[in-house]
Structure formats: C-alpha cells, structure tokens
Structure 1
C-alpha cells in the first residue's frame, strides 16, 4: 500500500496516560455501501480528490494546501469560516472500519491519548468518502526526525519508543476485550501532536482489523511491506504491530529504513518479501549508527526482541516495559549477527543468508518442525507442491540446520528418484508430527485399521499399488499407532511375492487386475491380526464352496491349486 496520510494536527497539552483495560463489547462496522454516489455540476470523485472539495465539504471549508497524496487517499489542510484548521482526508475507495465511530469500543481503542482524533463521523459527499481529523502541526514522525537531523539524545529515542509502544498497546486493547491490529504502523502513520512535551499518536486505521482475540487469516497483502512482520502476508496477529515498532525504531536509530537504500529509494517489494520469508533482520549496522557505544547493547537487545520472526515469542508490551526498567527479557534470536560473516549483496541492506523458518505457501511460516508437520498433514497437496524439484533438499537443509531435529532423513536419499512429492509428504509428516494423520494419494494410512479399510474398499487399487511399489510403510513407522508398520510392510511384500511366484510356477496367467487383487488382499492379511486372518480364510473357503465358483472347478489350474491348498 502506498503512503497514505501525511498530516500536520492541533496544538495542545498532552492528555495523561490512562489504564487501557476496559470491558469488552460487540463488534460493529461502518458500511456506507448502500448510499449510491452522485455527481453534481459535472464534478467527479477524482476531480474532488485532486482539485477541490466535493460540494458539501466545499460549503463548509476552504482548501489551504495539500498535506499528502497517496494511492488510497489525499489529505488537505482546510479552514472553516472561523479560521479553525482541520485535516480533510478524501478516500479514493470506500474505507472499511473495524469499529463504529463514537461507540464504546471505538472510544476504548482510539482515545485521544493514542490516536489522531476524528472530529465527526466519517461521511460520504457526492461519491467521495471522507474524514475530518485534528491537525497535527508537527507532521509525521518521519518528517519530524528529518527536520531535526535524527532522534537526538538517547533519552529522546527512549521517549519515542515509549510513546509509540503506549499507543500500540492502547489501540490493541487487552486480552479480555476485542483485540485490534493496526496492520500498517510506519513512521508516516505516526503523527507528532506536540513537540514539548513529545506527544505521538497513531493514524491511518484503514487496515485495522478486529481480531476478537484470535489470529486472522488473510491474503490481502495490505500495509507497507517494508515495515510488515513476516507473517502479515498470510495472517494478522497483534504481534505483527510489535514487529513494525521494531522496524520503526530501526529507522529512528539509523536514520533510514532497513530496506531503504542510501539514496532514499526502497528495495522492490518482491525482494523485501523474499527477505522477510527467509532471513533475520541484521543488526550489524547499529555499530555505525549515531547510538552511543554505551547504549548499543541495550538497543540491540530491544531490536532483536521486537524483530524476532516467530510471533509466539516476539516481544510485546510486557517485555518493552521490562526493558525500560533496565531489565533483560529473554530474546529468542541472536543478538549479534556480525560474527556470522553474512555479507549483503551490493546495494542491499545487511540481512541473514541462513533461513530461520520454513514457509509453506499459502499456509504459513514455521519455526517449529512439529508445527510444520501438522500443517503438512492438514494441507498434503500444498506440501507436495512445496517438495517438488529442489524443495525436498530445501526442507532437509532447514530441518537439519535451523530446526536441528537431530535426524539425517537418510531414507530420502536411499530411495532416490523412486520417491516423489506424494511419498515425501507422509514420510516427513510421520517424522515431524507422529500423531498427525498420514494422507497418501488422498487415502488415510495412519494406522493398521486404516490400512485394512483401504484394502477392503474399492477404487483404491492405484494408491495401494504405489504404496507397495515405493516401500513406504516401513519408513513411516514413527508413532505408537504405527510401531508395527515395518513388520507389516515386510509381511505384505512377502505374502504378495509368494502368491505371485506361486501363480507363475503353476503357469497361472496374471493380468494387471489380478496382480492388483493379490497386492490388495496381501495388505489386508498383513495389516490384520490372527483373528482377522482366520476370518478372512473362513470367508474365502465359504466363497469357494459357493455356487458362484462351481464353474471354476472345470479350470485345471484352479482345481489343482485348490486341491494342493486343501480348500
């Protein structure tokens, strides 16, 4: 999403900080979609956005100068008939809101202490959706720092951190209320209401989502990707806003964004996305920043805690408060990456080359091997696609490197080209998540009873034959329910091979359907206990003695085989 809001809001004393714990209330939503847009005097929404106010607003305000213009909206400094200054934001598309303006939930999450204030409910004027906002005279945090040549003293940097952290915490709410995630925290969406004392507030809530205390899956890809948490490309959590705070503080301390080049331009989104999915944010450039040497260690700890790729262990408000109290909360990623010898490409920021996570396309990013195995079990087709080509080696490299599972996965090498992605999925699931279901060729092969059900049903001959030919069962014997799989696999092949060899020795012709039948019945016997096998033999005797097999007695090889087997 392009930069949207660049505001300049009202002077005034900073309101005192408050306790943000408030009672929960139902979620509501603004939706003006039922109101059809209209155009008067030949005007169009585009013209209103770029040249003048729509008629209703034009009757109330005078445009002074533009404050910002982006892909989603333009913002203008305007005055009313009394000379009061406001910021008027004109949207190019209808915005969606997580909470209704003026509701109890809205007041809970967007009090004056944490958020730029709307002066009235958002509206629509001749097809243009708009907001009237307070005017923050000192502009955005980005312009504020640029005008002053950086953050100044260490005390000033700590105050910036404290202000933004308080704003995020207040906006998100507590675990007992409807949680919100901003989704687009960056220096241009943090406004400076007053300079002395410093008063920072959040702006641009177009991406704000009501989580209801849960993660939210999304493929929207919204937000400014250079400040986005790695997981924000797939799902939204409150932890994503704390990552963004880490990227904001990186820019505060170093004077440029992590993905920003020395000439002020930004690396392309595809490259940024690739880095976010596979590499840690390097902290090595802190050594060359304006941060004083005696403060480097503390700031490195803070950035590492916030820029931890696993959202489950990423720092949030409790850890920041502890850090501000000069304590040392646990950090779940390396504090110092300089010793790794990772060299950035020419013109690129310093980043880690070693992957610390494994991304399953369209499903999620995983830092834990067991969680990855469970996800592969639930998404076997996606997992199979990810293991095609060089995918198998990429996974093995991650498991043996970053994940450190302690296994070598030698079966993959020993079976060579015999195993394709369909075989690799149940193999890795069995190794990583032994309790998860194993799906092969759309068939559940998780336990001996599942194998018997597979062999006793129709329409699965192809899956059974592939399972037989690829020697897979003996390699997925992890887990209590599959402890006998190695023996089942050995017995299955022995029974089937004996039956096929016997048929050939008796000159009994075996078409492909006959071979499939032998393999199926052999699996049924191998996966069964003695009682089941005895029952199977009883049923075979009964069928042979039945009238439907009377004609078979006229076939010499069948009569001879029956006699030798004493059936």
Structure 2
C-alpha cells in the first residue's frame, strides 16, 4: 500500500524536526530469516526508526526494530499498556498507504489474511498496527523439503487467502515466504501479510538487495502487467520451494533471473510428488490467462486434475505468420499469442487499414490454411467496418474455439465477471481496461460472441439476463428520480445503465446476471452497512424511505447502496451545521458571560456615581427650602409684613423644609442606588441628569439656531434685532414675577408638595429606566 508520490501529505502534516538514530537493540528473528537491507526507494541508508509517531507513542511503547524490513516501511515491535505485543508498520516519507486496501481488508473474512488492527496517519507518515507473530514467517519452515501433506496444507491456506483478496479486487503483488506469517505451529496456521505493494505501486517489481522478491515475480510483471494471476504464480514458486527444499534462482544475479523469466518456463520436473508437480505446472504456466487460479487450485485440493496448458519450448522459425519476433504456423499458438499481446495485435493487424503489410500477411496466411471457413471469416468479419478489437475477437475465436473466452486481453468467463465491479469502482491498474471491457460488452453484445469459446456457453444467457436487469434498473432509477423526496443531487448517483462513467451500474448488473445469489448476498450485506452508517441522530427521511422499500429486490438494494453516499453527505452536513451552531451558541454564551462579568465588576463604581450624581439634588432641595423659608416663611409674630412691595405671611418654617429636603434626597438617592446596582457597568453615564442633559442640549441647539436666524435676518435687512430679543427675554421674566406674587401666600405649602412629589416622580422614572434597560438587554441577549 505504499505509493511513491514525491510529495508530503496534505496541509496539517507535521515534519519531525530531527532524524532518528539506529538503536542497537534488535529482536531475534524467526529461524532462517535473513535480514534484508533497505536499498529500495525511500530508504534511509540504514537509519532506524526507533521513535514512534506521536499518535502511536501515546498508546504504545517501541520495544525494538524487527530484523526483516521492507523497501517502503519500517517494522517495529511495540507493546501496549496491557503488555500485549504488536507490530507497527511505519511507512517512510514519500510512501502513502492505499486507503481502499485499508477499507477492504477488514471485510475479507478470511483467517488466512492478516487482520490490521489499526491504521492512521501521524507525523507525516502512514502507519499500520497488526498482531505480532512470534513464530516468524514461512521462511522459518524452509530448512528442507516438506512432506507432500504439509505442502498441500500450506497451498490450501494461501489459496484461501488469495481468493479472498482477489474477490475484493486486491492483488497482493509481492507474495513470498517473508510475507506469510506463522500464526501457530501446531496446528499450522498461516496468514498473508504485508500489503505494501497491493494495487498501488506502478513498478511491477521492487529490486531489493536480495533477489528473493524478484524470484517469486511472475513473467508478466516484467512488463508491468497487473492481475490476480501474478499472485498465483508466486504461490506456485512457494509450493515448488517447499516441495524441493531449494529456493528459486538461488545464487543467480538479477539480470539472469529477469532473462530466465522473460524467455523460458520454470520447470517443475524436480518436484518428486506427482500431485505437487501437477500443482506447480498449473500455477507456473507462463501465459497468465491459461494459468491456474482459485477454481483450478480448489479442484486440485478436492482431488481433481485440471488441465495444464502446454508451454512452447522456443521461438518458431521458417514459414508461418510473423508477429512480435516469432513465426506462428499453428492456429492455437497464434491465438494464445494474440490474446497475450491483445492491444499490440489489434493495432498491428487491423489498426492501419487493409493496405497495411501486416493485414496482407495475415490474409495470405489465412488463405493457406486448409479450412474453407477462412473465406467467410475474412470477407464477413475481418473486412467489416468495426473496431480493431472486435476483428481480433473474431479472429481469435476462429483460430482456437477451445480457448477460454477473452476480450481486450482479459479472460471473460462467468467467474471473471464477478470481479469487474471491484475493478471498475476502485482506481488502479485494472480500472481503465475493466471500464472499457464493460462498455464494449454492453455496446456490441459481445457476451453472445464470447459464448462461442470453450467454457463460455452460459455467457449468452448472462447477456440476456444482463439486458433485462438494465431495462428494469432504468425504469426503477427514473421512478426514483421523479419522486419529490430525494434531493436533486441523487439523480447523478442513479444514472441509467450505460450512461454512468465509470460504468459501475452496468458492471454491478453484469455481475448480478452472472452470479445472482452471490451478488444478492453482497448487496444485502452492503445494505446493512449503509443503514448502519446512516443510523443515528441525523435521520435522512428520503433515504429511510428508499432503504425501507428495498426488501430483497437486488435492484432496489443497489439503488440504496448508490444513494448511501448522498445520505452520508447530508448527515455530515447536518452534523457540521449542528456543530457550527453549537460552537456559535457557545461563543455567544461565553461573550455574554464575559459582558456580564464586566458589568457586575462595575457595580461598586456605579453605586458611587449614583450617590455623587444625586448630591446636586440635595443642594437644590436645601437651597429651595431656604429661599422659600426666607421669603415666604412665617415671622416671629406669625403675622404679615411687607418686603420689597410684597406681602409676607406666615408659612412653613425652614427647619421643617430642610428636614423634608434631606428625606426627599435620601429617597431619590436610594432609587438611584437600586438602579445602579441592578445595571452595574451599564448604569447610564449621566445618571439622573441624563434627561436634563438632553433637554438642555435641545434647548441650546434651539437658541443657537434662533440666534443664527436673527443674526442672518439682521445681516439681510440691515436692522438690529436686539430689541426683540430683549423683549422676548423680559416678558417671560415679568410673568414669572407676577406668578410668584400670586402664589406667595401658599408658597410654603406648594414647595412642600413639590418635595413630596419629587421622590415619587423620581422613583417612577427610575422604574421606567430599569424596565427599559431590561427590555433592551433582553433584546440584545435574545438576538445574540
């Protein structure tokens, strides 16, 4: 799962500031396991990673470095808090694990595929945590030839693991004894491990310091081909080594090994047991399309003897049709060569038109064959206006009808159709060819053509059922898209069969037509996982409606699986919105709490301001009481007297008014203190004088405007307006004096009433101010 991308992880990756040193502590390796130096890409020149990433270091303790290391990662023995030991695989910088493989491995369900306990990314590195196998790997059992029964047991366990991997669309690509762990020795239990190259690396062979990895590589890996057949070749090499006790290509250089793989077959004649020899011959067939796979191995394990393709011993010379540096005289051998080099063959013979030399050579070669059918082939098929790949299909079927059905260089049996959805869905080496294969099978109805090959008789029925499924699916998808409940984005996830890119719907319907029971079971399992992913506090009504009506209808289940990502998007969007709202509410709550804290912190200052700002009121009331008492209060004889032309009569004495003034001020001061303690820091800046400040301000602005108006009029007319201003100021003053003369007999009583009414009015005003403040504060709080 390591991918050389040459770049760092996405933003947020933290680089280690320093490098790590190699500690001398080592864990003893399993018997017979030699150390492997790290000379591959991304190697650190021998530097050891004895420091775990921070994410793992919180829960695991690094014990030591394991002796067998990979080209793309370091393997560390770690111990958790309970003392259990595990293996931490830390990918080197520049290598990125394949998330698809991580996602699929836990779902395989095979006891012979090592279970990954934990995966993640920390400190700029991907990592995996797996169980620790103290008994080492399969290399520890290779001290000499094993009994045939033991070899067959190993083959059965590894075949089970490979079948599970291939069913999930995973090609291991680096199967060797070092990557097969011994979980227990008695009874022997094995598990395939180390998926570092699975489906990801574009390089087909990793050249390490030892030729051991190359020694187990299939011939087609030299040209970069990737298919499950590569893993079956590796299994054949392991079986051969277990049976003979000799490692393949021991002592040979990499150049010699590559030359051998590219030019000659690997002989199984030195395998003594005939049953194991048959297994090795079937697995070590050079042609990957005729090599044994899971079906043949299962038949061999059941005691059967599946046929083995005959190997060509060398290039043919003399007469025959030339192709890729060889001449072919036999029809079946040419057919196998064309299938093996499908893309080149289609372009070579048919891609350049009927005037090309290659086409003329093929036509002449076909004319020399003692078969009258070649005329119909040439005139009816090979000269038709169709794609070169279709012409090559017609040619291969005519050359060797006993060949399994092939198209685009891929075997197309009913069993192979089961794996197409995995290849179509997951980007990888087989993705592009699988997408094209599905489209071509659908567009040209090629399953009916492929039914003419050996073992393809059931493909015609599969094609008929496939097209019936497609028609039913299109009707279902259009009905779902026409409903009001699903969101508009769902239409893109439920396209008509054949209109989707990549053609996942077509691939799923094809697999359903070929293996209805198996695909129906997988769809049901996927439906349960989809329901589990969408269950919770964020219901999606349209998805619940869609999933609720699925029942056991495979097409409805497929629709639910395709719609599940859209439901997950809605759920995640709702979760994000809820989290954002919660964060906003929490921020506003904290903001309000901070404002409230700051407000309450100013309570003492507000109380002091309330007392200070009411002191002028005390001065006003005492001054007024003194004036009333001096002018209108009663004399010593209680009679009347004339003062400045006014009649003075007995009234309320000053002492009483002074005491009443203090009481009035106390009530007003208390009202302001209560208001100030309630409002604290929000206490009005001008206190009780705010209203008077506004009145005076408005009056000042009015007088200023009047003065400006009068001055402007004087400037325009040349007249002086001071007499009018004097008259406007004198008349009100005379009116005030007359009013005072009129009320003089009851002035003391009136002042007493004023003193009584003042605290009442002040209290009412303070209550109004408190009410308005609370309303304003409640509005701000509610709006926040």
Q: TM-score, normalised by structure 2?
A: 0.37
Is 1:125 equivalent to 2:127 in the alignment? no
Partner of 1:94: 95
Is 1:222 equivalent to 2:205 in the alignment? yes
Is 1:38 equivalent to 2:14 in the alignment? yes
Is 1:313 equivalent to 2:328 in the alignment? no
Give the counterpart of 2:141 among 137, 145, 155: 145
Structure with greater helix percent: 2
CA contact (8 A) 1:114 1:171 kept: no
Partner of 2:336: 368
Shift of 1:208: 1.9
1:485-542 Cα shifts (integer Å, max 9, x gaps): xxxxxxxxxxxxxxxxxxxxxxxxxxxxxxxxxxxxxxxxxxxxxxxxxxxxxxxxxx
Is 1:70 equivalent to 2:38 in the alignment? no
Q: Which secondary structure does the structure 2 equivalent of 1:88 belong to?
A: strand
1:190-339 residue pairs with structure 2 within 5 A? 190-209=180-199, 220-223=203-206, 224-232=213-221, 233-261=223-251, 267-286=252-271, 291=272, 296-333=273-310
CA contact (8 A) 1:226 1:259 kept: yes
In 2, Cα distance between the equivalents of 1:243 and 1:374? 21
1:452-504 Cα shifts (integer Å, max 9, x gaps): xxxxxxxxxxxxxxxxxxxxxxxxxx9xxxxxxxxxxxxxxxxxxxxxxxxxx
CA contact (8 A) 1:66 1:76 kept: yes
Question: Aligned in 2, Cα 1:426/1:37: closer, same or farther, shift over 3 Å?
Answer: same
Shift of 1:256: 2.6
Q: Which secondary structure does the structure 2 equivalent of 1:120 belong to?
A: strand
CA contact (8 A) 2:65 2:77 kept: yes
Partner of 1:166: 160
Q: Which secondary structure does the structure 1 equivalent of 2:235 belong to?
A: helix
1:349-378 Cα shifts (integer Å, max 9, x gaps): xxx9625999959xxx98724547864454
Backbone CA RMSD of aligned residues:
4.3
Question: Aligned in 2, Cα 1:73/1:219: closer, same or farther, shift over 3 Å?
Answer: closer
1:155-203 Cα shifts (integer Å, max 9, x gaps): 2111111111111112211xxxx52221111111111111112111111
CA contact (8 A) 2:50 2:65 kept: no
Question: Aligned in 2, Cα 1:197/1:373: closer, same or farther, shift over 3 Å?
Answer: closer
Q: Which secondary structure does the structure 1 equivalent of 2:288 belong to?
A: coil
Question: Aligned in 2, Cα 1:106/1:370: closer, same or farther, shift over 3 Å?
Answer: closer
1:223-256 Cα shifts (integer Å, max 9, x gaps): 5332122223332111221111101111111223
CA contact (8 A) 2:204 2:226 kept: no
Shift of 1:34: 1.7
In 2, Cα distance between the equivalents of 1:367 and 1:449? 22
Shift of 1:330: 0.9
Question: Aligned in 2, Cα 1:98/1:242: closer, same or farther, shift over 3 Å?
Answer: farther
Question: Aligned in 2, Cα 1:208/1:42: closer, same or farther, shift over 3 Å?
Answer: closer
1:28-82 Cα shifts (integer Å, max 9, x gaps): xxx9932454234534695996142245133433322221223221211121233
Question: Aligned in 2, Cα 1:60/1:304: closer, same or farther, shift over 3 Å?
Answer: same
Shift of 1:312: 2.0
Partner of 1:512: none
Shift of 1:129: 2.2
CA contact (8 A) 1:151 1:253 kept: yes
In 2, Cα distance between the equivalents of 1:70 and 1:374? 35
Shift of 1:309: 1.4
CA contact (8 A) 1:377 1:426 kept: no
In 1, Cα distance between the equivalents of 2:99 and 2:298? 28
CA contact (8 A) 1:145 1:151 kept: no
CA contact (8 A) 1:319 1:329 kept: yes
Question: Aligned in 2, Cα 1:315/1:353: closer, same or farther, shift over 3 Å?
Answer: closer
Question: Aligned in 2, Cα 1:254/1:428: closer, same or farther, shift over 3 Å?
Answer: farther
CA contact (8 A) 1:219 1:235 kept: no
Once superposed, which parts of structure 1, at least 4 consecutive aligned residues long, lie more than 6 Å away?
356-359, 432-435, 446-450
Shift of 1:272: 2.1
Question: Aligned in 2, Cα 1:154/1:100: closer, same or farther, shift over 3 Å?
Answer: closer
Q: Which has the higher contact order (CA 8 A, sep 6+)?
A: 1
Partner of 2:314: 354
In 2, Cα distance between the equivalents of 1:372 and 1:316? 17
Q: Which secondary structure does the structure 2 equivalent of 1:39 belong to?
A: coil
The runs of 5 or more residues in structure 1 that have no matched partner are 3-30, 211-217, 262-266, 335-351, 385-421, 439-445, 451-477, 479-567
In 2, Cα distance between the equivalents of 1:152 and 1:65? 32
In 1, Cα distance between the equivalents of 2:343 and 2:364? 13
Partner of 2:543: none
In 2, Cα distance between the equivalents of 1:55 and 1:41? 12
Give the counterpart of 1:154 among 133, 143, 148: 148
Partner of 1:114: 112
Question: Aligned in 2, Cα 1:62/1:107: closer, same or farther, shift over 3 Å?
Answer: closer
In 2, Cα distance between the equivalents of 1:230 and 1:312? 12
Question: Aligned in 2, Cα 1:447/1:308: closer, same or farther, shift over 3 Å?
Answer: closer
In 2, Cα distance between the equivalents of 1:359 and 1:271? 25
1:434-449 residue pairs with structure 2 within 5 A? none
Q: Which secondary structure does the structure 2 equivalent of 1:321 belong to?
A: helix
CA contact (8 A) 1:172 1:238 kept: yes
In 1, Cα distance between the equivalents of 2:337 and 2:232? 24
CA contact (8 A) 1:75 1:90 kept: yes
Q: TM-score, normalised by structure 1?
A: 0.50
CA contact (8 A) 1:278 1:356 kept: no
Partner of 2:133: 136
In 1, Cα distance between the equivalents of 2:85 and 2:158? 25
CA contact (8 A) 1:119 1:134 kept: yes
Q: Which secondary structure does the structure 2 equivalent of 1:192 belong to?
A: strand
Q: Which secondary structure does the structure 2 equivalent of 1:368 belong to?
A: helix
In 1, Cα distance between the equivalents of 2:291 and 2:72? 31
Shift of 1:426: 3.8
CA contact (8 A) 1:64 1:79 kept: yes
Q: Which secondary structure does the structure 2 equivalent of 1:99 belong to?
A: helix
1:312-345 Cα shifts (integer Å, max 9, x gaps): 22112222222222222111126xxxxxxxxxxx
In 1, Cα distance between the equivalents of 2:323 and 2:180? 31
Larger radius of gyration: 2
1:205-228 Cα shifts (integer Å, max 9, x gaps): 122229xxxxxxx96223533212
CA contact (8 A) 2:114 2:192 kept: yes
Question: Aligned in 2, Cα 1:313/1:55: closer, same or farther, shift over 3 Å?
Answer: closer
